[in-house]
Chain A
């Protein structure tokens, strides 16, 4: 494997939620993203996917850990400069993000063209109005947004169109890595398909790397080369997408895959997750986070931690069961 574009090392983000109560949203996570690779990030709601993406997009500060970014020969640690001042960081433009709710992520008082033009002005440093206009139209073309829609307010656009504006904005600063936090969750199936095709197309054309956060494993399967499975702030399994879906090793991943609706399983009772999830607040550092819900839970799961181990080439999982 050649040098990754992004190497995340032992990233930690805890939220203070009360006196002596820390919510471990992202707990010691390491992962790599290669240039041109798209990595899917899946996991239960609240497991820290968004938090991780926001840290990586430098919207919030991590408590500790590094985000090494390789741009050509240069390497820099993005985590080193605080988020509050990251807006002026040289690398601001290279990591961009597309948000889940296209509705919420567009300034209601900005026309579509203003939204797309803003990074051009602020990050690319374009001044000339005509040049900006040309570039905005070019970007709109990339994402398949008809130019006549550029003069509209967000509320005058449909969900799919809004998503396109969001993507065009993210592309404006010519990023190397695009973080997509559930970009299609709010869209209709029919629109979702077009947006997914657009994303796949862009990736191929621009050689972008993706970190694709999603609930929908089917989408991840289609779009991503590699998938990372998180559970309560921890990575429990990661590996090539097809491989992980075909042979999930971690019990949580197994349940996740089993829960994907499948008409072929009609009539067969599904394996259902029992018990309650552990609290992400001040979790026991030794216990497996999945313990309690895990059908294969054993006393040792509560006593010592396991780390990711390779179960197949490039396929890592963290579970005691795999030790045997």
Chain B
């Protein structure tokens, strides 16, 4: 069956701004974020810690901290605006249409509930499965994420499982209702490289099987490049570059992206060749943040950078960059 309108993306985020109102000031955590995601596509979001990757993901699901306020923007998903949806509507979407998996899988599971039951909770909620079928369906879910001996694992508690195994459970939980979008927030941080490889393989093969779109949030540019179709780079609440993975990796246009790539050990031929990014992320609580938040760290900074709001240049139809001095 063909998609009714091929050009319509699965998720289209436009102009998203979000702030946290805290006692110590307002944190302008996201500003003018725009990206879209097609069916079956995997988008990688990379950036330094604190650049707003998680906040962005949470805002999609409406599970942001209570202090968060979406001040502008839309996130159209299957005809509904996720940002304006009521809590009730969102609850129907979460876990059924859009799912999420998290970093540190061990703590992301309820430590005192059998993993089987945790999957059942989701099934009961969304798939309206009842009774004996429930257990079967849950074991099915475990089987799908290639857990050896799923019937036995059904009765296990998270503490009895290894980290990689917990992450599989978490994936099973997220995919239990076959959502059309999966957001993975650093799903392999803290896991061994070998386990990381296994989890990523699993994720990409499952996504392919179900034609599911996914967002992979990670620190690891190399990882994102290996698995994602497109990569979005974030810095201090701005999405500064977004494009096909190879293009972004091999021909970055934003100076930040450039630096980020250069500081990744993977790509650097030697230590001396690594070029760290100078300075720190700006304090997002300042109300007089410059239009370009990278301005303070940028080697190509000019007075013009502070003059007007950031423009968005399309390098190619699918590759956009937000910088005055983009090459």
Q: Are A and B in direct contact (Cβ within 8 Å)? A: yes
Report A's interface with B, CB cutoff 8 A.
44-45, 158, 188-194, 196-197, 200, 215-219, 221-223, 255-256, 258-263, 265-266, 269-270, 272-273, 275-277
Contact A218 B198 (CB under 8 A): no
Q: Please determine whether B163 and A45 come into contact, CB atoms closer than 8 angstroms.
A: yes
Interface size grouping (class) on chain B: 35 or more
User: Could you tell me which residues of chain B, from 24 to 55, have a CB within 8 Å of some CB in chain A?
Assistant: 48-49
State the CA gap A191–B268 with chains docked (Å).
Answer: 15
Q: Which of A191, A261, A277 contacts B223 (CB 8 A)?
A: A261
Q: Which of A194, A222, A273, A276 contacts B198 (CB 8 A)?
A: A273
Interface residues of B in 81-118 (CB under 8 A from A): none
Contact pick for B225, options A218, A263, A270, CB 8 Å: A263
Q: Beyond A255-B194, A259-B197, is A190–B245 a contact (Cβ under 8 Å)?
A: no
A247 vs chain B, min Cβ distance (A): 18
Report yes or no: A263 in contact with B194, Cβ–Cβ below 8 A: no
Provided the pairs A45-B192, A197-B276, A263-B246 are in contact, do residues A190 and B226 lie with their beta carbons within 8 angstroms?
no
Question: How many angstroms between the C-alpha atoms of A255 and B198 in the bound complex?
Answer: 11
Say whether B266 contacts A218, CB under 8 Å.
Answer: yes
Report 8 cross-chain contacts, Cβ distance below 8 Å, ordered by A residue: A188-B48, A193-B276, A194-B276, A196-B271, A216-B265, A259-B193, A265-B226, A273-B197
A263 and B148 contact, Cβ closer than 8 Å, known pairs A189-B264, A193-B276, A270-B201:
no
Residue of B nearest to A191 (CB): B276
Q: Work out how many contacts link A and B, with CB atoms closer than 8 A.
A: 110
Beta-carbon contact of A44 and B194 below 8 Å: yes
| B275 CB–A CB distance under 8 Å | yes
What is the CA–CA distance of A197 and B270 in the complex, to the nearest angstrom? 10
Interchain CB contact (< 8 A) of A222 among B200, B265, B275, B280: B265
Give Cα distance in the complex from A193 to B273, angstroms. 10
A166 to chain B, nearest CB (A): 18
B265 proximity list for chain A (CB < 8 A): 192-193, 196, 216, 218-219, 221-222
Residues 121-165 of chain B, each 1 if its beta carbon lies under 8 Å from chain A, else 0: 000000000000000000000000000100000000000001100
Let me know if B196 is at the binding interface, CB within 8 A.
yes
Residue B72 at the chain A interface, CB threshold 8 Å: no
- Asked whether A256 lies within 8 Å of B194 as measured between CB atoms, the reply is yes
Closest B residue to A260 using CB positions: B193
Residue B301 CB within 8 A of the other chain: no
Q: Considering the chains assembled together, what is the distance between the CA atoms of A69 and B265 in angstroms? A: 32
Known interface pairs A263-B226, A265-B226, A276-B148. Does A256 touch B193 (Cβ–Cβ under 8 Å)? yes
CB <8 Å contact, A263 and B245: yes
Residues of B within 8 A of A261 (CB): 196-197, 200, 220, 222-223, 225-226, 266
B70: interface (CB < 8 Å): no
Chain B residue contacts of A223, Cβ below 8 A: 271
Question: Which residue of chain A lies nearest to B195 when distances are taken between CB atoms in the complex?
Answer: A273
Instruction: Decide if B260 touches A190 in the complex (CB within 8 Å).
Output: yes
A269 to B202: give the CA distance in the assembly, Å: 10
CB of B245 to closest CB in A, whole Å: 7
Question: Which residues of chain B are near A269, meaning CB under 8 Å?
Answer: 201, 205
CB pair B271–A222 under 8 Å, yes or no, is yes
Closest A residue to B198 by CB, please name it: A272
A219 to B191, CA, bound (A): 16
Q: Closest residue of chain A to B190, judged by CB? A: A45
Q: Which residue of B lies closest to A293 (CB)?
A: B194
B residues 237-259 in Cβ contact with A at 8 Å: 245-246, 249, 259
Q: Name 18 extra pairs, CB < 8 A, besides A44-B192, A261-B226.
A: A45-B191, A188-B48, A193-B275, A194-B276, A196-B271, A197-B274, A217-B193, A222-B270, A223-B271, A259-B194, A259-B196, A261-B220, A261-B266, A262-B226, A266-B225, A269-B201, A269-B205, A276-B162
B26 to chain A, nearest CB (A): 22
> Which 10 A-B pairs give the minimum distances between C-beta atoms?
A263-B225, A193-B263, A259-B197, A190-B277, A193-B276, A218-B265, A261-B223, A194-B276, A261-B222, A259-B193
B246 close to A272 (CB less than 8 A): no
B163 to chain A, nearest CB (A): 7
B219 CB contacts on chain A under 8 angstroms? 188-189
